[in-house]
Amino acid sequence: MDKTHKWTLWNREFNSPILLASGTAGFGLELMEQGFLEGAAAVISKATTLKPLVGNPPPRIIETRFGLLNSIGLANPGVDEVLRTVLPEAAGLPVPLIVNVAGETVEEFPAVIERLEESPVQFGYEVNVSCPNVAAGGIAFGASPEIVERISTLVKRVSSRPFSVKLTPNEGSIVESAKAAEAGGADAVTVCNTFLGMKVDWRTGKALLKRNVGGYSSPALLPLTVARVFITREAIKIPVLASGGVNRAEDILELLAAGAAMVQVGTWLMRRPDAAFELRKGVINLLKEPVRQ
Amino acid sequence: MEVSHSPFPVTRRPFTISSTSGDSVEIIFEVVGRGTEILAETEEGQSLRLLGPLGCGYRLNPGNWLLIGGGLGAAGFPGLAASIDCGLVLLGAASRDRLLTIPGFETVTITEDGSSGRKGLITDLLESVQWDSFSSIALCGPVPMMKAVIGMMPAEARANAQVSAEARMGCGWGACEGCSVPKAGGGFLKCCSDGPVFSVDSIDWERWEGIHHG
């Protein structure tokens, strides 16, 4: 372990600033099998919901010229199955696991976390407020600072572990949402999630995704994340976990310099399952370089 | 396979390994979009990153096999035919230049324009097939073609048939849930890690549309 380079999250020290972003690493089990978790500080699981979700009809992934549209639909086996089979297996992960939680109603978030608390495995939670609030006609929970604060308060009440609120860039003010998460007791915010995107076949006039719109991610989005991390960091005291557009070691250092405590790698992990190892090595090498003015 | 050294296209492209020999693998592909277009421009001596082999291939059951391929769907057949007891290969394609050859195995071809073999569709070749003389069937091609072929199979043949599926893929190793194929009885299969080869009856053919290229 490198003695000089350390990053801290929730009173725990890591030799890497890299978190594997939710949805791109499963629960880390496939990557563990291949030894690809080396270099990662922690794995953030795919979303877990109260009931199992089969996910959206295919195609779920559309590659556009400069990025990727996804419409997975939070496919997951539900909290019962996650508790019964997935988390016991994840106990063998060589790095901590942060469980990502999603819901269709405000009450579902604390309900899922209350159940997850039965397991000793996870290090913390990431609360995905970018998903649609069914009771509010499908607008993301994250669009309303009041709802973000409410969810954070309810989660705080049932959780013995720290949690980050994963904010949406698509609706509302990310700064106001971050302040609301902090006010509700969140231990970090994740800035941010995929951008709402769409691909239309102009010949047929039809969207390629069955649900028309999906989440857009791309290395080209990095400056959008840097800006959001910077303005959010200025407004709150809790750590900011950066997410969006990272595919180089320089990107990680840039986000850390902009105020992030840790940096997530997501879409790039699909291309490079060993991304954490390579990127961490890159980060350490860059930090060893003499400082240039 | 990473088709480009640039970050774009972002994801790798999935390919069937057609055959292997020594330390080389053969991949046969058709230019159907930007990824394969870039790949086709690869020059000799250039290096590409390849992750694999991934997923589950054909279950190499003993007994006589029938292979049915549509266009480049037959890309995996050279390696498969060499690994099994291959009795007959049926290949269909739009035209001769999109028809693969599986040297060393009895092959009957048919093309839509008549440029090789009979003129017609692969289903025209199936009318004379003695289904009960084969204990395993491998099927791969465009989804509409596979649906038509399966529609002509007797129930017993269908129970012994395996298909190699395709889907738009994200990671290729089972994590992202991007490459779903409708599962018989509801839900989805992961093409990359549950498959890409599936038993015919594990797929919900009504719900499966395959890939829209373009």
- The pLDDT tens digits of the residues spanning A108-140 come to 999 999 999 999 999 999 999 998 887 787 789
For residues B69 and A142, give the distance between their C-alpha atoms in angstroms, rounded to a whole number. Answer: 49
Considering chain A, what percentage of its residues have pLDDT values greater than 70?
A: 98
Q: Which helix (H) or strand (E) holds A155?
A: helix A145-158
Of the candidates B11, B175, B188, the beta carbon closest to that of A30 is on: B175
Of the candidates A24, A58, A67, the beta carbon closest to that of B180 is on: A58
Q: Span A253-269, mean pLDDT?
A: 98
Tokens for A171, please give them: 């609706």
For residues B93 and B100, give the distance between their C-alpha atoms in angstroms, rounded to a whole number. Answer: 9
| Surface-to-core class of residue B138, CB atoms within 10 Å of its CB (0-12 exposed, 13-18 middle, 19+ buried) | buried
Q: Identity (one letter) of the amino acid at B61?
A: N
Whether A293 shows a pLDDT value over 70: the answer reads no
For residues A244 and A193, give the distance between their C-alpha atoms in angstroms, rounded to a whole number. Answer: 7
- The pLDDT tens digits of the residues spanning B5-55 come to 999 999 999 999 999 999 999 999 999 999 999 999 999 999 999 999 999
- Which of A51, A68, A270 to probe the B interface (max B CBs under 10 A)? A270
CB contact under 8 A, A70 and B170: yes
Reference B90, options B120, B66, B64, B121; nearest CA is B66
Distance from CA of B191 to the nearest CA of A (A): 11
Distance from CA of A46 to the nearest CA of B (A): 8
CB contact under 8 A, B171 and A273: yes
Of the candidates B10, B35, B180, the beta carbon closest to that of A271 is on: B10
Distance from CA of B176 to the nearest CA of A (A): 5
CB contact under 8 A, B10 and A25: no
Q: How many CB pairs under 8 A join A and B?
A: 104
Residue A3 pLDDT: 55
Residue A133 pLDDT: 81
Report DSSP state, residue A140. B
CB contact under 8 A, A270 and B176: yes
Q: In the block, which residue shows the tokens 């266009």? A: B71
Cβ–Cβ under 8 Å, residues A229 and A258: yes
Reference A197, options A59, A74, A70, A73; nearest CA is A70
Q: Span A182-201, mean pLDDT?
A: 97
- The pLDDT tens digits of the residues spanning B100-139 come to 999 999 999 999 999 999 999 999 999 999 999 999 999 9
Q: Identity (one letter) of the amino acid at B24?
A: S
Per annotation, catalytic residue among A131, A143, A241, A252: A131
CB count in 10 Å sphere of residue A223: 11
Contact B97/A at CB under 8 A:
no
Active site residue A131: yes
For residues B137 and B86, give the distance between their C-alpha atoms in angstroms, rounded to a whole number. Answer: 10
Distance from CA of A71 to the nearest CA of B (A): 8
Contact A277/B at CB under 8 A:
no
Of the candidates B180, B186, B212, the beta carbon closest to that of A60 is on: B180
Report DSSP state, residue A289. S
Contact A30/B at CB under 8 A:
yes
- Mean pLDDT (chain B, rounded): 95
Contact A207/B at CB under 8 A:
no
Contacting residues of B for A24, CB less than 8 Å apart = 170-171, 175-176
Tokens for B27, please give them: 């991949």
CB contact under 8 A, A273 and B173: yes
Cβ–Cβ under 8 Å, residues A149 and A236: no
CB contact under 8 A, A273 and B209: no
Please state whether beta strands B24-26 and B136-140 pair in parallel, antiparallel, or not at all (unpaired): unpaired
Q: Span B86-101, mean pLDDT?
A: 95
Q: Identity (one letter) of the amino acid at B120?
A: G
Residue B106's alpha-carbon distances to A242, B88, B91, B102, B103, in angstroms, are 58, 5, 11, 8, 8
For residue A68, the chain B residue with the least C-alpha distance is B10
Of the candidates A26, A55, A269, the beta carbon closest to that of B174 is on: A26
Reference A103, options A78, A72, A85, A70; nearest CA is A78
- ipTM of this complex prediction, to 2 decimal places: 0.92
Reference A193, options A221, A234, A163, A220; nearest CA is A221
Residue A1 pLDDT: 44
CB contact under 8 A, B188 and A55: yes
Q: In the block, which residue shows the tokens 């994590």? A: B175
DSSP chain B: ----SSS-S-S-------EEETTEEE------SHHHHHHHTPPTT---------SB-----SSEEEEEEEGGGGGGHHHHHHHSEEEEEEEEESSGGG----TTS-EEEEETTSSSSEES-HHHHHTT--GGG-SEEEEES-HHHHHHHHHHS-HHHHHTEEEE-----SSSSSSS--SEEEBTTSSEEETTTT-BEEEGGGB-TTT-------
- Mean pLDDT (chain A, rounded): 95
Q: How far is CA A198 from the centre of its chain?
A: 21
Contacting residues of A for B176, CB less than 8 Å apart = 23-24, 26, 61, 70, 72, 270
Which domains does chain A possess?
7-61+74-195+219-288 (3.20.20.70)
0.90 exceeded by pTM: yes
For residue B55, the chain A residue with the least C-alpha distance is A30
Distance from CA of A268 to the nearest CA of B (A): 7
Residue A292 pLDDT: 65
pLDDT band at B214, cuts 50/70/90?
low
Report DSSP state, residue A92. T
- The pLDDT tens digits of the residues spanning A40-76 come to 999 999 999 999 999 999 999 999 999 999 999 999 9
For residue B189, the chain A residue with the least C-alpha distance is A54
